[in-house]
Amino acid sequence: MAKPICELNWEAYQTLSFQEKMVYLMQSGGTPYHTLFAQQFNRDLLGQLATLANEIRFIAKSRKGTEFLKTVVSHKRAMLYFSQPSSRTFLSFLSACQILGLQTGEVRDTATSSEFKGESREDAVRTFSSYFDLIIMRTPEKGLAERMAWLLSNSERPIPIINAGSGQDQHPTQALLDIYTLLRSFEKTGGLQEKTVLFCGDLLRGRTVRSLSQLLVNYPKIRQVFVAPPQLQVGEDVQNFLTDRQANFELTDDFQSAIPEADAVYMTRIQDEWDQSKGESAKIDTSRFRFGKTELDLLKSTAIVMHPLPRREEISTEVDGDPRAMYWRQMRNGMWIRAALIAMTFGCEQTIHAYFKASGTEIV
Ligand code: NCD
């Protein structure tokens, strides 16, 4: 694994453009070292990851294959540092590590680490880097994963950081699993191109929407429709990004009219944990932004319903049994794509490709 070293101080690093930062985030072969932002992944890289995830998924079907996978990264250890609540992201990363044979350690509550004694985040992360070979981190702080990646790239023991959700800002691995789900779902309907993806809910504060929206611009003729109450409509940063990339997008608050045109409906919950003064979100009428039986009847037969989960009342449980409800499979896809990302981070793609090829079976 080629480690990008960054000798710039933090102030100088922050002035770099995204393209200039890429030198410090990617390995020389074009695969990720640190995974911090969705924009690090282009269509080619997303395709490579999806292929690798498919192979891992296939190999894991047999006991022999599972045993092989457990040897792929068994020489490495990963630290799961989750200082913000998480079920799926935590468990799917943990499972991904287990699939590949990585040993893991975890801190899920900073009250149980020396941060409670006043240790800085920087010192905590440097401590983890002394014992582990990868840090997977989720924090409520915007930009913290990037700062920690810079810190480690400057240290005598640089190790990769994977951002498992940073504040309201980015959730790159959720976007990877969302893309993988879209690629799999559209395999028989022309692939991920010329499709309409409809986002609905709290688009202002949801980090998954920002990351996925940025990745969708890699695919041809994708139309993105953002459906939300005006107070929760997608932020200007996302709109500016899409405008710069000449993406086809529109904003509306008319959910029912938008549904029949959608190939994927991506529902999100109200993110009221970010309320400045508690209860602000509760005053917003979100009743028109829910997906139930009526909305299902408006949806194309080939379309899918997605959700990063957890859900509240924005998708009714009546929808769960419909073949177009993709959120459970989407969740499991997270485990495969995260395993693929970890294998790629450690440069183990070829080992997996070779085993898959030798097994000589088609992916089903
Ligand atoms: C999302 C998150 O944490 O941003 N959940 C997840 O990782 N699957 C979405 C959410 O919490 O609403």
Atom of ligand 1 nearest to the CA of 164: 7
Q: What is the mean pLDDT of the chain?
A: 94
Please list, in sequence order, all residues whose beta carbon lies within 8 angstroms of the beta carbon of residue 138, skipping any fewer than 6 positions away.
Answer: 81, 82, 83, 84, 86, 89, 90, 163, 164, 165, 166
The stretch 60-87 carries a mean pLDDT of: 95
Atom of ligand 1 nearest to the CA of 174: 7
pLDDT digit string (tens) for 9-20?
999 999 999 999
pLDDT of residue 150 exceeding 80: yes
pLDDT of residue 364 exceeding 80: no
CATH topology of domain 10-171+333-359: Rossmann fold (3.40.50)
Q: Is the CB of 160 under 6 A from ligand 1?
A: no
pLDDT of residue 114 exceeding 90: no
Percent of the chain with pLDDT over 70: 98
| pLDDT given for residue 278 in this prediction | 66
Instruction: Tell whether omega for the bond before 230 is within 30 degrees of 0, i.e. cis.
Output: no
Q: Is the CB of 333 under 6 A from ligand 1?
A: no
Atom of ligand 1 nearest to the CA of 208: 4
Check if the beta carbon of residue 35 is closer than 8 Å to that of residue 173.
Answer: yes
Percent of the chain with pLDDT over 90: 82
Best mean pLDDT range from 73-77, 122-126, 141-145, 150-154: 73-77
| pLDDT given for residue 277 in this prediction | 64
pLDDT of residue 259 exceeding 80: yes
How do beta strands 264-267 and 161-166 pair?
Answer: unpaired
Burial of 86 (0-12, 13-18, 19+ CB in 10 A): middle
Task: Give the gyration radius of the chain's Cα atoms.
Answer: 20
- How close is the Cα of 87 to the center of ligand 1, in Å? 9
The stretch 225-241 carries a mean pLDDT of: 97
pLDDT of residue 363 exceeding 70: no
The stretch 204-231 carries a mean pLDDT of: 97
Per domain, the residue ranges of the chain are: 10-171+333-359, 172-331
- How close is the Cα of 2 to the center of ligand 1, in Å? 31
Domains 10-171+333-359 and 172-331 share a fold: yes
pLDDT of residue 337 exceeding 70: yes
Taking the C-alpha atoms of residue 287 and residue 51, their distance in angstroms, rounded to an integer, is: 40
Domain 172-331 carries which CATH code?
A: 3.40.50.1370
Confidence of residue 327 (pLDDT cuts 50, 70, 90): very high
Of 115 and 362, more confident: 115
pLDDT of residue 1 exceeding 80: no
What positions carry a catalytic annotation? 88-89, 117, 138, 171
- How close is the Cα of 308 to the center of ligand 1, in Å? 6
Q: Is the CB of 201 under 6 A from ligand 1?
A: no
pLDDT of residue 2 exceeding 70: no
Q: How distant is the alpha carbon of residue 52 from its chain centre?
A: 16
* Closest to 306 measured CA to CA, from 189, 215, 175: 175
The stretch 72-101 carries a mean pLDDT of: 96
